[in-house]
Structure 1
Amino acid sequence: MRSTFAILACSALSFGLSMAQNNYISAPVTENNPPGVIYAATLLNKTTSTVRGTINATAGPGGRGVIFNVDFFDFPDEREFGPFR
């Protein structure tokens, strides 16, 4: 069941990426982002998954762009469910 879901998810992702290459639109550049502000998200502590993590977003140098710090950990056994790279 899990391998079927993984194959389906990878197929959908591959299709989406192939479609995205043909209709490329540049993202607008964000400017004047407030310095020192951190937007944070934390994965919920669920009993159905061991994966935990945080995502933090801050303004880039000079308020231009956004810098993301992403940290995921406690992945399940890579030999059974991986690879996770």
Structure 2
Amino acid sequence: MPTRSRGSRHRHRKETATALKRLAALDDNQRKRLAFALDTVFGIHDLPYRLLAECNAALAEDYLQARGYAQVEADA
């Protein structure tokens, strides 16, 4: 694997910090829309879960169940 130069690492960290700030600034509707696009267009499942969890924990759990990553607990 090629190593990155010091300037390249610095630029990557700065871009990552900028992206995280932008994600933090999204409102709930924007998070839900981004989660939908990441899932349906790009097939990404971990970030949509995190975005949905920031909006609503139950919605995020429903997402995991719909994706088959979590089992539905049977009522006793």
- TM-score, normalisation: structure 2: 0.35
**Structure with the largest fraction of helix:** 2
Kindly name which structure, 1 or 2, has the bigger radius of gyration based on alpha carbons. Answer: 1
- TM-score, normalisation: structure 1: 0.32
Q: Name which structure has the greater RCO, CA cutoff 8 Å, separation 6+.
A: 1
